[in-house]
Every structure is written in C-alpha cells, then in structure tokens.
Amino acid sequence: MSNAIGIWLTFIYVLGFATHNVELRIIGRAPRADQEPQCGYQSCHPTKPNMLNVHLIAHTHDDVGWLKTVDQYYYGSETRIQKAGVQYIIDSVVESLLRDPQKRFIYVESAFFFKWWKEQTKDMQEKVTMLVNEGRLEFIGGAWSMNDEATTHYQSVIDQFAWGLRKLNDTFGECGRPKIGWQIDPFGHSREMASMFAQMGFDGMFFGRLDYQDKDERLMTQKAEMIWHGSENLGEKSDLFTGALYNNYQAPDGFCFDILCSDQPIIDGKHSPDNNVKEKIDAFFEFVTKMAKGYRTPNVLITMGEDFHYQNADMWFKNLDKLIKYANERQANGSNINLLYSTPSCYLKSLHDAGISWPTKSDDFFPYASDPHAYWTGYFTSRPTLKRFERDGNHFLQVCKQLSALAPKQSPEFDPHLNFMRETMGIMQHHDAVTGTEKQKVALDYAKRLSVGFRACSTNIRSVLNQLSKGSGEETSKSYPLELKTCSLLNITSCSTSESNSRFALTLYNPLAHVTSEYVRIPVLDYKYDVTDHKGKRVPTQVVPVPLSVILINQRNSNATYELVFLASDLPAVGFKTYYIEKSESSKHKMKPKALPKKSSSYTVIGSKSFNLTFDTNGFLSHASGDGMTRMISQEFLYYEGEIGDNKEFLNRSSGAYIFRPKENKLHFATDHVSIEVYKGALVQEVHQLFNDWISQVVRIYQGRNYAEFEWLVGPIPIEDGVGKEVITRFNSDIKSEGIFYTDSNGREMIKRKRNHRDTWNVKLHESVSGNYYPITTKIALEDATARMAILTDRAQGGSSMQDGALELMVHRRLLHDDAFGVGEALNETEYGTGLIARGKTHLFIGQSLMRSEVSLKAMERLVQLETLLPSWKFFSNMEAYSQDQWLTKFTNSYSGIPTTLPKSVHLLTLEPWHEHELLVRFEHILEKDDDYHYSKYVQFNVKDVLGGFKIADMRETTLDGNAWLDEHRRFEFVPDPEDESYNMYGVFKKQSKDVHLLDAAKPLLGVKYSKEALSTGELGAESNRIKRAANNRHFTMHRERNTQAERQDTHKEALPANDRAKYLIELSPMEIRTFVIYLEK
C-alpha cells in the first residue's frame, strides 16, 4: 500500500508541475473571448407574461462517491453496482449543447467537472468556454462537492466552496461564477449553510428534502419559497432566498427520458399507432397546474434529471424538445402554459422580477423525515471513526495551509500537494461521505484518499518546519534533520517514535492566532522521562497508565503502557515550540503511577476546589461542582436497539445508515455497576471507568481547567444476539430545562430546540425519540435561570434532550439491516474481523447560566471549542543523534509566524497561499452577540500588525468564498411579507390579467445590465406593484439604515490618521467573518 501511495504522490507532483504555469486570472475578470460574454441573467430565455412559465431544468446529480467510489463514478466502471459514468455525461451534454443554442444545462460538482476538463483538448476547452460565456452551460453550486449540512463543520464548507469557486473563476472568469446554491440531495438543511451562501454572495438556494409534514404545509400555504434569515447575529447580509423543490429533484412521473429510465418517450409519428403526444401533454399540464398551486408566482421549476442522468444526453433533450414544442403549440388554442429551457438562476430571476413579497424563516430544516417512521437522524452519527478522521483532515489541512504560506522558500511541489488535500477534504464534505451513508468499500476509499492527502501535506510541512527550525545553518534545505512524523495512531495511544526512541523531540505547531497552553499526552513504555523546553528548562511531568481496555484493543501494535503528561505552556501563535524528551533512569523522583486504594464505602472526588466531579460508590458520576455551585450530574452509557423491519411499508422501516429508528423507543443500560481506578497527580486527576467489556471511559480534570474531559471507548458493539445497537452517552442533571435545549449549526451559532416541537408548524411525531434528534457538530447545551450544562463533541454526532436536565449524544451505532434508502448494506462496520471500535472525547461544562462581569461560561465554551477543534499538531522526531545540548544549540525551537496575536474573541479562520504572491485570509469573531459582556463586543485590530511577518503590498476584501470583490458584488434583494397581514392577499398576487401593464420595477441588482426585454417579462398585475410599493417603503428604510452604517464607518475611517495603516484597520462584530486577499510584495 505504501508503494501505491508513493506512486500516487509522484503523480500528483508531476501533474501539479504540468499545470503550474497556467496563467492565473484576476478575480472577476472575464476570460479572453472574442465577444462580450452573455452569461448569467442576461442569457435567460424570456418568459411569457400572463402565462404559467414552466422552467425546465436539465440537470444531473453526480454523487462524489456513494455506491461506487469517486473514480468508479467518473470512469463509469463497476456497472453491476450502478450504471453511472460522469465522463460520458459531460461529453454527451456538451455535444448536445453545442448543436443547439436554445438548450441549457447546469453542472454542479466541481470535483467531477475539473477531472473532465483536464482531459480535454484546447479546442474542446474553448468550445466549453463559449458555452459558459453564453450561459448555455451554467455552474450552479460549484463547490468541490454538494456538501452535507448536518455533519460538516463550517470551516470545511467554506474551504470547499472557496476551492471550487476559485477553479471556476481561474478557468472561466465571471461567467463561471455560480449564483445559485443547489442542495438538492442533502438530508436536511442547516441555517448556517444559508448564512454562508448569503455571505458568499449567492442570490438564492434551492433544495429537495424537507420534513414531509413541513413540505405539505408549505405547499398548501404557498410558503415553499422564502427568505431565510441565516443568522441571529449578522442581520440581512445573512438572508438567503430559499426554495423547496416540488418533486425533490426528479422529473415528474412519466417524464423521465433518460437511458436509465423506463418511461415512454414522446411518440409523435403522425400515423404511429403509439402516438402519445396528447396523452403526454395532458399529463404534463395536469402536473404543472397542480404544482403551480403550491407556489406564489406564475413560474414553476421542473427538475428534468436525476442521479447520473444524461449519459446519453440526446435521449433527454430530444424528448424535452418535443415536450416544449407540443406543449407550446397549444398556446395558439388558448393555453396559458409556456415551457422553456431554463436554469435555476433564470427561474430565480423570474421570481425576483415578479416583485412580490415572501415569507421568512429563522430556524432550520432539521431533522428531516421522509415519512412518519423515517427520521434521517441516524447519519448524524453513522461511521463515527470516519467522521473523526474527517475532522482531523480539516485540522491538518489548516496546518498545511498556514505552513505553506509561511514557507521561507517554496518548492514547486507545495501547490499540488496542498491542492490534493484541499480537494480530498472537498470530497469528504459530500453528502454521502462524511455522513457515513456510503457503501463500506467507498468509505474505505475515502479514508485512503484522506491518508494520501495527509502524506502529501506532510511533505510540505516537513520541508517548512525544517527550514524554520534550522539553527546555525550548516544543513542544506534538502536534508531534513527533523523527521517531524505525525503519529496517526495517537487515538489508540500508540506512537512509534516515542515508543522506540529514548530521545525524541516533540514539535507542537499551534495553528491559532493566540498564545495557548495545552496538556500533552504521549504514549511511552516507561514512567521515567525528562521533558525540557526550548530554553533548556525542565518541565513538570506526570505519568498515567494506559487503561487496560485500550491495551487490549485488537491489533493495537504498541507496547506503550503509560502516557507521559505535561503542560506545554505559551505555545506561540501561528507557530511552534519544540520539547526535548529523554528517558532518564536517574530520575529517582519519578514514581510508578499507582491507582488509589479502592474504597467501596465512600465517594471519589477528582479535580480542584474550583471545579470537581464526584463519583458514587457504584462508580458513576453523581455531582459536579464548578463556578460556585454544586449540581447533581450523572453520566452513563445506554443503548437503543435498532428496529428491524422489511421496509415494505413505513411502519416496517429498519434503523440503518440514514435512519435512526429505535425499537420501542426503549433504552437499555450498559451496566449498573462501573469498576473504577483513580489516579491523581499534580497535573491531572483521572477516573478510569469500565462499564462492561465493550464500553470504558476515562474522566479527567487537568490542573487549572474548569471543565472535564470524558474520553470514551465503545466497541466492538456485540451483535451475537442478532440485535443492532445504537449507543449513547447521557448526562443527567437537576437543571430545569423545561424541554428546551440548544444545538450548534455547523459549529457556529447555537439554535434553540424544544422537545416535540417545530417552530414553523404543528408537528405530529410518530417517532418520539429520533424525531427529537438534532445534528451536533460541536456543541449541545441546556440551562435554567441559574445553572447551565454544555457538552462539546470532537466530531459530528446525533443528540437530544429527551428529559428535562438531560443531554444525550449518540456515539456509535452498529446495525444489521439496511434502511432501504439505496445504500443496500447494513451499517455493520468491522475492522480486523470484529466490530469497529470508536474512541473519542467530550468536554463537560457546568456553571452559572447568568451573564456577569467576569467571563461567562458560554465564552469559555467558545474558547475551548476553538482550542479543541484546532489544538497544536504534534510532530515527533527521533533525537538519538542529538544530545539535549546539541539540540538546544542546533535548532530553532520556538517560532511564531505572527508578531501580534489576535484578540481572544477573534479566530484566524484562514491563512493560506492563494494565487502567486497572494494570501487568502479570514478573520472570524467567534462569539454571538449575547454570549458575554466583554468578549461579545466589537473588536478592532490592524491586519498589518497581525500579519507583520509578511511584506504586504495591498489588501482587498472579498466575499466569504474569496473569489469576488465585496465592494463590487451585488445580490438580488427580496422583500419579506409585511408581518403576516399580506399573506391573505395572495390570491390577488396571482391573478393574471392581459391588460395590466407592469411598471418598471426598480431593479436592486446593481451592476448587472438588463436588456430591455428582460425588464418587461414580469407577469404580475398592478396589484402586485401596489404591494411592492408598500414594501418598498420598508425597503427604503433598510437601505437608509445601511447607508448610515456605511457612512458611520466612513467617518470613522476618516477620523483615523490618513496613513497607510488605516486601510488595514478592521472591525468585527459578533459572528462576523471577513475575508481578504492580501497582495505580497514581489
């Protein structure tokens, strides 16, 4: 396998080298073309006034891995599994588009498109550029993959959009920039995703899946299209126009014309006995007429395509041509239905031009239920180890980006290596990757890709860290005295360097723009080690035994029986510090760690006066004291049994990779007695708990920390009884939460949840447990007037509060039946011939819920959340060749890439090399407006101070994705319904009348040229203009407010000394992210 990886790496290198000299395009500049590009809204086919305009969207949904791997899908191999080959799709579609300028097609997944693009001749590339410039081929979505929204972290979502959109921009310029989000298949939709789309400058987003009850209600009340408020902190800049599609993303029944479908084509032979034109058109009209009743404007969007459709594009297009022809022919006889080739952006433009107002929404679309017994809440947890590996991937990608940017000397292979990791992480965000809803073989392929990505990035990092660590400088840049190995098995407390060397160095790279202090744990064979810091100073250490349950893990090929613990303090921001670690027989003071004597009659307490946990005589947690209060808090492991059914009717649905369906909603205790061992030292106090022979846990409190760490180990989940199990950890408290709890949205803002409740409709839950599950990307919390409990997770999990005061998180699941949503396999993960073992960490916070003058608990949670997401990365180097003194003099053992750290509430979300002599940088305020008196305030800092290590020539702000100038970018604006009252007037909106003349509605989309024809294609009557004017008043106020804000900022700027520094002074409000391209001096 390592050989194969080596070859792959070489391949990446060569590939990158070959493409390295491609001309880099400037943001926003159109690619060279003979004529003025006519893409975007200008290229829309005109709609017809006073008619129902049916926008036919020819599209293909190309999963970036699911039943087959990414490459199997691209090349079309393994046809026995699925007849799907993306290369044929794009070939075929392009050919059809080139033949007929009337046709439109959208493409979504950049991962596939650029694989295809690279294989094309220059001639073909030019033809495709022409199609893009003329709006005939339009990119929609445009990220590397169509990411999941429940289990993804916002950092990775932003990254994969930035990369996909950059490739489109570099290749096609402005015409390649997608305007519309297209999340047609993800299994529920997050509010944060809406916010990110808005901040990336998208005009709107369409999606396919929402709760079946929600969907019914929305179609009945014409609220399927809405303005979604994406953030409680960011105001209207996070508003996104969002539409729920009528038929997921499929064609209407009977109109699937793909080679994969079996519907009848349109048979129009005049004398053919099979002629079905009348029948087809009648059926189609019936469908669209019914559908139109659910939507507010006389426009409907019909998706014409499905998974991997258009391998033979002509089959689709030929029938769509006929459908359009025969449908529109009826207009001569009074039909008011008009069919046209369209795109989601052209459809959105029609909605916008309709000039009406829209309903609003402020919560999210979780959980998603497709029927009364199918809540798609199992995938929040499915494949827990892949979910954790993906998070590690993000962590390493950030380290790789930063160090590639900080490199004193670049190597030609840096870019291709970094790009490979960027692209791999883009693939990992796909809605069948990190979700765990792919086949087992595909999951292994994802993991393999990710491990190659780690290898690729490791070579960049090793080179840069060696350059930065070089001391007196006799080494050439080619020889790397420091190995800087990543121990990827630290999750099972195993590391070859620390286990096989008596002298080694540990380099801790801190990717945060703050100085941090962190407890480090290193697997070792013995308990006698000395740790020295970069100044030669001995660091206090403690040794803790590795729990027996870890030592006994099957195939754990390690002799480490201890963990060496020390506090790595003052780790430099965006920098590193190296420690020298040496086995030392002489140190007599080092004692073999011994468990405290077992006491069966009294309680066990660990921690400090300010924060401690009490365990009862049965070994369970019973109390927590912190923040000046003591509360009853217990914690336990339980499991649900997965429902088994034949999936033939809703009631017989099995629990599976997508669906969580617990049998009888009944919980089973893992044990009623926990055996414990207690270890106390100066740095950490630990309780090792053994629940049964497949669940164990270490609960620990580090010195000086006011929260606890729970490191759980679950598996192999037994299935010998023929029952699949879904294991949860549950924290019970006496906090009176009254059904309310809070869950994060993609790791950013918290959303309020209420048990058995949805904000926008009266829910009827037929699954009382799984219908209350929500995605937890990083945090779940509850509180009452005095106390608060919050839990941070280290990966995406499902979670809920099923009783007041209790929080549960599903940590692992193993099931024996498929849930019949296509994957065709039971979620029964095995490794080394037995059930998969998962290990992970949760952090528990207990304290006062009140805001106060000192730092609030919420603010502490935010800071720790950041430090657990991006702790320092551990690099190990063999030091047998260097004594401690030699090490001290030969190497630079402390380094910071930024001379000024950021305020605590600000996160350096991104620091990466962008185009040549450019950096892409994002600053993020990590608190919400009401989190904390102090930390939630506006902050101000100077970018030039923070990035003082770089020679900055200029800086310009972009949209969140980094590919459009913020000051030049305009979005459609949509008018919200005036508080409820307008809604009943809807009947008026829709009335069509031939003699109404639509006034020239103001076009808020500045910077886009409208042709005159486009202006007059509105379909609504004067009535709507009346409403529009009323709404416009409100609109005007909004504009005014914004202008005042802008003016205020301007005056603010003018008040500053008129020097160059003022330009780099920036301000962030709570939850704000600002993105900049930094130009470096050449």
Please give the positions annotated as active site. Answer: 185
CA distance 1 to 263: 46
Three-state DSSP class for 629?
Answer: strand
Comparing CB distances to Zn ion, the nearer of 109 and 818 is 109
Q: State which of positions 602-661 bind Zn ion (CB under 5 A).
A: none
For 383: left if phi > 0, alpha if psi spans -120 to 50, otherwise beta; the answer is left
Among the listed ranges 179-187, 692-700, 711-719, 879-887, the one in contact with Zn ion (CB under 5 A) is: 179-187
Joined together, the tokens standing for residue 452 give 């190659």
Size (the chain), residues: 1082
Shortest gap between Cβ of 488 and Zn ion (angstroms)?
30
Q: Tell me which H or E stretch contains 878.
A: strand 873-878
The C-alpha atoms of residue 1043 and residue 829 are separated, in whole angstroms, by 56
Residue, CB closest to Zn ion: 185
Tokens 């086919």, residue? 45
Cβ 732 to Zn ion shortest distance, Å:
38
Whole-number minimum distance, CB 185 to Zn ion, in Å? 3
- Which residues from 38-67 bind Zn ion, rule CB under 5 A? 63
| Cα gap 885→881, rounded to integer Å | 11
User: In the set 170, 185, 641, 918, which binds Zn ion (CB under 5 A)?
Assistant: 185
Contact 612, 606 (CB under 8 A): yes
241-280: contacts with Zn ion (CB under 5 A): none
Least spacing, CB of residue 967 vs Zn ion, in Å? 36
How many binding residues for Zn ion (CB under 5 A)? 2
**C-beta neighbour count of 555 within 10 angstroms:** 11
Q: Which DSSP helix (H) or strand (E) runs through 562?
A: strand 562-571
677 binds Zn ion (CB under 5 A): no
Give CA–CA dist 656/824, Å, rounded: 10
Q: At its nearest, how many Å lie between Zn ion and the CB of residue 747?
A: 23
Identity of the residue, 28 or 822, whose beta carbon is nearer to Zn ion in the bound complex: 822
Measured from the CB of residue 658, what is the shortest distance to Zn ion in angstroms? Answer: 12
Q: Following DSSP, what letter does each residue of 7-76 receive, concatenated?
A: HHHHHHHHHHHHHTTSPPPPTTPPPP-SS----GGGGPPPP-TTSEEEEEEEB-B--SSSSS-HHHHHHT
Is the omega angle on the peptide bond into residue 545 within 30 degrees of 0, that is, cis? no
Q: Which is closer to Zn ion, CB of 382 or CB of 510? A: 382
Q: Rank residues 63 and 499 by Cβ distance to Zn ion and give the closer one.
A: 63
| CA dist., res. 967 & res. 1075, Å (int) | 12
Least Cβ distance, residue 429 to Zn ion (angstroms): 12
Question: Shortest distance, CB of residue 60 to Zn ion, whole angstroms?
Answer: 11
Minimum gap (Å) between residue 821 Cβ and Zn ion: 11
Q: Which DSSP symbol is given to 189? A: B
Specify the residue, 49 or 208, whose C-beta has the smaller distance to Zn ion.
Answer: 208
Task: Give me the least distance between CB of 98 and Zn ion, in Å please.
Answer: 28
Can you give the three-state secondary structure of 932-982, one letter per residue? CCCCCCCEEEEHHHHCCCCCEEEEEEECCCCCCEHHHCCCCCCEECCCCHH
Residue nearer to Zn ion on the CB measure, 432 or 928: 432
Minimum CB separation from Zn ion for residue 177, in Å? 23
Q: Estimate the crossing angle of helix 154-172 against helix 191-199, to 10 degrees.
A: 30
Residues 1060, 1064, 1065, 1068: what is their CA dihedral angle, to the nearest 10 degrees? Answer: 160
Contacts 24+ apart (CB under 8 A), 1034-1040: 1034/975, 1034/978, 1035/973, 1035/975, 1038/236
Taking alpha carbons only, the member of 730, 727, 709 closest to residue 718 is 727
Q: Compute the least distance from the CB of residue 918 to Zn ion, in Å.
A: 34
Candidate segments 180-188, 544-552, 908-916, 1020-1028, binder of Zn ion by CB under 5 A: 180-188
Assess contact for 475 and 841: CB atoms under 8 A: no
* Of the candidates 112, 182, 172, 125, the residue with the CA atom closest to the CA atom of residue 423: 112
Report the residue number, 74 or 691, with the smaller CB distance to Zn ion.
Answer: 74
Q: Which is nearer to Zn ion, 63 or 749 (CB)?
A: 63
Applying the rule CB under 5 A, the residues between 62 and 101 that interact with Zn ion are: 63
Piece of the chain touching Zn ion by CB under 5 A; list 178-186, 570-578, 682-690, 871-879: 178-186
Compute φ and ψ for 724, nearest 5 degrees: -75, 150
Closest contact distance (angstroms) between CB of 448 and Zn ion is: 21
Cβ distance to Zn ion smaller for residue 106 or 695: 106
What is the footprint of Zn ion within residues 402-461 (CB under 5 A)? none
* Ramachandran assignment for 315, one of left (phi > 0), alpha (psi -120 to 50 degrees), beta (any other): alpha
Between residues 437 and 469, which has the closer beta carbon with respect to Zn ion? Answer: 437
CB 134 within 8 A of CB 156: no
Beta-bridged to residue 139, according to DSSP, are 107
Distance CA 732, CA 635 (A): 6
Peptide bond into 572 cis (omega under 30): no
With contacts defined by CB under 5 A, name the span among 182-190, 433-441, 609-617, 1055-1063 that binds Zn ion: 182-190
Q: For the segment 347-386, give every residue that binds Zn ion (CB under 5 A).
A: none
- In whole angstroms, how large is the CA radius of gyration of the chain? 30
| Residue 823 or 1027 having the CB closest to Zn ion | 823
Sign of CA dihedral 406, 411, 415, 416: negative
Hey, what amino acid is at 793? T
Question: By C-alpha distance, which of 965, 949, 970 is closest to 1075?
Answer: 965
Pick the closer one to Zn ion by CB: 63 or 1072.
63
At position 674, the amino acid (one-letter code) is V
Q: Which helix (H) or strand (E) holds 924?
A: strand 918-925
* CB nearer to Zn ion: pick between 72 and 458: 72
By CB under 5 A, name the binding residues for Zn ion.
63, 185
